[in-house]
Amino acid sequence: MPIRIDDDLPVKKILEDENIFVMGTGRACSQDIRPLDILILNLMPLKEDTELQLMRSLSNTPLQVNITLLRTESYESKNVTKGHLDRFYEGFNSVRNRKWDGFIITGAPVEKLEFEDVEYWDELREIMDWSEKNVTSTIHICWGAQAGLYYRYGVNKFDLPKKLSGVYEHHTFHKKTPLVRGFDDSFYVPHSRYTGVSKEDIVANNRLEIVAESEVAGPYLIIGDEGKNIFVTGHPEYDVLTLDQEYNRDKNKGMNPDIPVNYYPDDNPDKKPIKSWRCHANTLYANWLNYYVYQMTPYEWR
């Protein structure tokens, strides 16, 4: 089934060219069904890239999904045109007076800052407080996961010795947990970050449960309050060339980055990377939409 997005959103044409079922507003309004309303707070600087990546994964489900893009009002991104933000994004004040089936909070390139030093931290705290009563389930990605674990559960981040960049092997616990239903015993996920979260701190909190981790990258999938909040410490939504773009960006800045782990064939950046994580990324988002949103949200919000 399709995702429903604005007819004029630039990524719509790309999705259609990839044979992803996208439904425009006109056709969607003529169908007599109850679609899921999903809100995405996009904190990433390259907003159109993140839109495309997330919508690819959200389209792999038999459910019809309405997408609404949300931006911060206390900080305006410098890497996207104001026209794009004004045309396709909502401010918090325009969405706060209604209920949402699902909510996604993306990562952001601010992880070296203390949370309280992030320019939009107060606004993000307000949004997370609001989501507790107005959203069925929220999924937090990378820095968004660290921010959510810190604010909602008191689990702080810590600095890593060097940037964690690459595609890492993971394994699941509790294979009957719906979030990892259909996962293989081992699977791969891209990570790109300078900070991590402590497994010991998560295990010590009886409201949190780790359901997948990596021996190298640490806890990966964490469920809070039985699925009210879900935390994804990596970037399963990444395209095949995203880590390559980040590596070359850092190299061009003179940062002397390490070659991303398990990414280029023979660790040769001149060779095209191999995509090895898309199936599990799609399964993750399909499981979230089905088991933690669709099965739990009311047919009619009251």
Residues that are catalytic: 142, 235, 237
Look at 77 and 31; give whichever has higher pLDDT.
77
Report, as an integer, the average pLDDT of 297-302: 72
Helix, strand, coil percentages for the chain (3-state, nearest 5): 35, 25, 40
pTM: 0.89
How many whole angstroms separate alpha carbon 271 and alpha carbon 276? Answer: 15
The yes-or-no verdict on residue 23 having pLDDT over 90 is: no
pLDDT tens across 268-298, in order? 999 999 899 999 999 999 999 999 999 888 7
Mean pLDDT across the stretch 38-62?
Answer: 90
| Mean pLDDT to the nearest integer, 192-217 | 97
* Cβ 3 vs Cβ 58: under 8 Å: yes
Residue 28 binned pLDDT confidence (cut-offs 50, 70, 90): very low
pLDDT of residue 68: 95
Q: Are 29 and 93 in contact (CB under 8 A)?
A: no
Give me the chain's average pLDDT, please: 90
One-character DSSP codes across 157-169: EEEEEEEEEEEEE
Residue 3 pLDDT exceeds 70 = no
Percent of the chain with pLDDT over 70: 88
Task: Give the pLDDT of residue 82.
Answer: 83
Residue 206: in which H helix or E strand, if any? none
Name which residue leads in pLDDT, 18 or 248: 248
Burial class (CB in 10 A: 0-12, 13-18, 19+), 43: buried
- Assign residue 301 a region (left: φ > 0; alpha: ψ between -120 and 50; beta: otherwise): beta
Encode burial over 187-214: b for 16+ CB neighbours within 10 A, e otherwise.
bbbbbbbbbbbeeebbeeeeebbbbbbb
User: In the predicted model, what is the mean pLDDT of residues 238-259?
Assistant: 95
pLDDT band at 31 (very low <50, low <70, confident <90, very high): very low
Banded model confidence at residue 22, pLDDT cuts 50, 70, 90: low
Cα–Cα distance measured from residue 189 to residue 292, given in angstroms and rounded to the nearest whole number: 21
Q: What is the pLDDT of residues 72-91, one digit of tens each?
A: 999 988 878 888 888 899 99
Residue with tokens 């994580």: 277
pLDDT mean over 5-23: 60
Other Cβ atoms closer than 10 A to 256? 7
pLDDT-derived band of residue 180, with 50, 70 and 90 as boundaries? Answer: very high
